[in-house]
Amino acid sequence: MNEIVSCSVIDNIAVVRIDNPPVNAMDRAVRAGLNKTFSELKNRSDIAAVVLACAGRTFVAGADIKEFDTGIRAPSFHEVLQLIEDSPRPVVAAVHGTALGAGTELALACHYRVAQQDARFGLPELSLGIIPGAGGTQRLPRLIPLDRALDMMLSGKPLPAATARELGLADALAAGDVVEGAIAFTRDLIARGADPRRTREQPVKNAEKADAILQEKRAQIAKTMRNRKSPLALLEAVKAATELPFADGLKVESEQSRRLVQAPEARALRHLFFAEREVRKIPAVSSDEKARPVSRVGIVGAGTMGGGIAMCFANANIPVTIVDAAQANLDRGLATIRKNYERSVTRGSLKPDQFEQRMALITPTLDFSALASADLVIEAVFENMALKKDIFGKLDGVARPGAILGTNTSTLDIDEIAAVTRRPQDVIGLHFFSPANVMPLLEIVQARQTAPDVLMTAMDVAKQIKKTGVVAKVCYGFIGNRMMDPYAREAEHCLLEGATPEQVDSALEEFGMAMGILAVFDMAGVDIGHLTRVARKHLLPDDPTFYRCSAMLTECGWLGQKTGRGFYRYDNADRKRTPDPETVEMFWAEGKRLGAARRTPDRQEIQERCFYAMVNEGARLLEEGIALRASDIDVVYTSGYGFPRYHGGPMFYADTIGLKVIRDRILEFGRTFDRQYWTPAPLLELLARNESTFDKWDASRRA
């Protein structure tokens, strides 16, 4: 086995190498190895300088995130980084891949940095609810301008090597092998007799403008990072860098860090970090299963969804053919795609030649047989079973043997769709979220007969088009929409009791949802959900209050933003919602007629009813095996439904509240409201009784 930290000598240069796969996380073993090596190097007079590099695919990609839960054991990050910075001879970091978190902080503690041309430097700690805690908040603004340092830490977005070089974070770029480049750079340092250049001894850049810069960032945080604690803690630590000597600033950083690391926000975000990687592990797929190659894709339907999906593939450099039954639809669809790309060019996120390349990858046609060469066809037409069956029948006749047939249905029974083909093993659900080219989630729905290699291919495709693929089984609404159903049902019921749409939505938004559900309905079209419910009437509860408000609005033709009026009014050109006393009155009167208690639920009750109903449904999905893991549900909700990441997803949030508390509240709601909705799911009941959590339930099934 390779040593985790090794040292070799080339002439008079020591090359220290970290080798801790997969991503060289700076765990205790790495810190101990660096401590030992740099302690020894300190006393070696035959060494003129040190190069610090990493083996494998990347420079250190951060602290070991698991260690935040168990506690950081000695030697500490500070001890190791100070030892490196104290080195009496120059230390040069040779950075390749992504230096992230503690990796960037390690590079900052070195005296010079040489970066491979495609390397990147990032401090993504806020995405984990913490701040750089190994001196990053103090050292970074001593190397690059204060406002850029704050941007880098607030956005978490890594800086490309070239920008790092321009700003002064990297001293040189290496075109070829980074270690060779760093050795050449170091030889030059030695020849020039250069001394160690310690970052901590540099002044903070733009310190004189600190007040104005910090004030601007504070305003930005209030607007875009609502309810978050870590961004404000970051500002405190950086402010200390501008006002205090390095050692004192470091103490402020440590205090802020310590406070954050076990706080709910950081625990929730750590949970999601691992949950987003866990989704890729599918027990039904053995490790020797091979994915089918996908190099040409077909799409049926040139509407908003079809167009968005086509863009996902063109963005990944995969040619796409879009088929539609009407030329006008194709023209409209292509024009929308073009407009979307043009917007990206205007914003600067796409170069004009890339725009042309992507458009050239998309072929519109009326000819269904053009799909014959596709490896994967995705149907994205209107949500109507008869239409979808018709299309799958045709696809069965046209598609080549072994091609994967995907449906973008959000609710329909995929087994029923698969049954019209002679190849149900090749049929799968690929549920994209609107706008498909933007939203990161892809629900991958495994139908009864879907073959394991088809499932695996879908996971691969998700990765190729940069989506988070989460596997679900067939049921109405799969994971996401099925859990939305009870959540929105409660929101609407509150209106019959006397709450206003504004009260309901602001309770949900204060919790952290990107948008209240009633405003979402107005945006999507109130009639959309209503018509699906009409089509499934025989399967729904025999309850006149069930989604009554949506039904009334549809009957009035008040369908939301598209008609200027729905749960709210949209009179102004900016489409801002304003209260509508007439609908409020209408809902109250209907509630009275239907015998709903007049009681105006407060903010806490609205939140509890909506989210606990959602969690209870989540527990049912787990019992039924529709979702593989509670953590998968959390990924679906945070990446596709605007659930706040800092609560970790609905199931993790439930764990933090305590499942017994939730079970008891559900029983209480059952005494006040309709018991058919308020009975704890058996799994919730079981876990509550055992004082367990969804997280432990996941872990017990992994074991």
Mind telling me the catalytic residues? 105, 125
Cα distance between residue 544 and residue 549, in whole Å: 10
When the beta carbons of 85 and 276 are compared against ligand COA, the nearer one is: 276
Burial class (CB in 10 A: 0-12, 13-18, 19+), 522: buried
Q: What would the x/- binding string for ligand COA be over residues 173 to 212, using CB under 6 A?
A: ----------------------------------------
Cα distance between residue 372 and residue 294, in whole Å: 14
Cα distance between residue 105 and residue 151, in whole Å: 16
At 234, list the tokens: 């970051």
User: Which of 57-65, 77-85, 599-607, 645-653 is the region at the interface with ligand COA (rule: CB under 6 A)?
Assistant: 57-65
Report, in Å, the least distance between residue 274 CB and ligand COA: 6
When the beta carbons of 103 and 307 are compared against ligand COA, the nearer one is: 103
Q: What would the x/- binding string for ligand COA be over residues 320 to 339, using CB under 6 A?
A: --------------------
Residues 131-170 interacting with ligand COA (rule: CB under 6 A): none
Cα torsion 625, 452, 293, 394 to 10°: value is: -80
User: Which of 8-16, 58-66, 334-342, 574-582 is the region at the interface with ligand COA (rule: CB under 6 A)?
Assistant: 58-66
Q: Kindly list the distances between the CA atom of residue 501 and the CA atoms of 95, 495, 497, 505, in Å, as whole numbers in the listed order.
A: 53, 7, 11, 6
Helix boundaries (H) for 144-279 = 146-155, 161-167, 178-192, 210-224, 230-243, 246-261, 264-278
Q: What would the x/- binding string for ligand COA be over residues 92 to 131, using CB under 6 A?
A: ------x-xxx---------------------xx--x---
On the question of a cis peptide bond just before residue 22, with omega within 30 degrees of 0, the verdict is yes
Amino acid (one-letter) located at 144: I
- The residues, any chain, with a CB within 8 Å of residue 648's CB and separated by 6 or more, are 267, 268, 269, 271, 272, 634, 638, 656
When the beta carbons of 64 and 617 are compared against ligand COA, the nearer one is: 64
When the beta carbons of 126 and 447 are compared against ligand COA, the nearer one is: 126
When the beta carbons of 59 and 669 are compared against ligand COA, the nearer one is: 59
When the beta carbons of 66 and 400 are compared against ligand COA, the nearer one is: 66
When the beta carbons of 98 and 137 are compared against ligand COA, the nearer one is: 98
Does 33 bind ligand COA (CB under 6 A)? Our answer is no
Report, in Å, the least distance between residue 458 CB and ligand COA: 18
8 Å CB contact between 600 and 499: yes
Report, in Å, the least distance between residue 279 CB and ligand COA: 10
Cα distance between residue 476 and residue 484, in whole Å: 11
When the beta carbons of 257 and 607 are compared against ligand COA, the nearer one is: 257
Report, in Å, the least distance between residue 692 CB and ligand COA: 24
Report, in Å, the least distance between residue 65 CB and ligand COA: 4
- Residue pointed to by tokens 């305590």: 658
Cα distance between residue 638 and residue 633, in whole Å: 9
Report, in Å, the least distance between residue 491 CB and ligand COA: 35
**Coil vs helix vs strand at 231:** helix
Q: What would the x/- binding string for ligand COA be over residues 9 to 28, using CB under 6 A?
A: -------------xx-x---
Q: What would the x/- binding string for ligand COA be over residues 272 to 301, using CB under 6 A?
A: -----x------------------------
- Residue pointed to by tokens 């009957």: 555
Residues 61-80 interacting with ligand COA (rule: CB under 6 A): 61-66
8 Å CB contact between 238 and 150: yes
Residues 538-567 interacting with ligand COA (rule: CB under 6 A): none
Are β-strands 376-379 and 404-407 bridged in parallel, bridged antiparallel, or unpaired? parallel
Report, in Å, the least distance between residue 278 CB and ligand COA: 7
Residues 246-275 interacting with ligand COA (rule: CB under 6 A): none
Cα distance between residue 679 and residue 660, in whole Å: 13
Task: Please count the residues of this chain forming the interface with ligand COA, following the rule CB under 6 A.
Answer: 18
User: Which of 34-42, 56-64, 355-363, 558-566 is the region at the interface with ligand COA (rule: CB under 6 A)?
Assistant: 56-64
| CB environment 3-34: b (16+ within 10 A), e (fewer) | ebbebeeeeebbbbbbbbeebbbbbeebbbbb
Contact residues for ligand COA, defined by CB under 6 A? 22-23, 25, 58, 61-66, 98, 100-102, 124-125, 128, 277
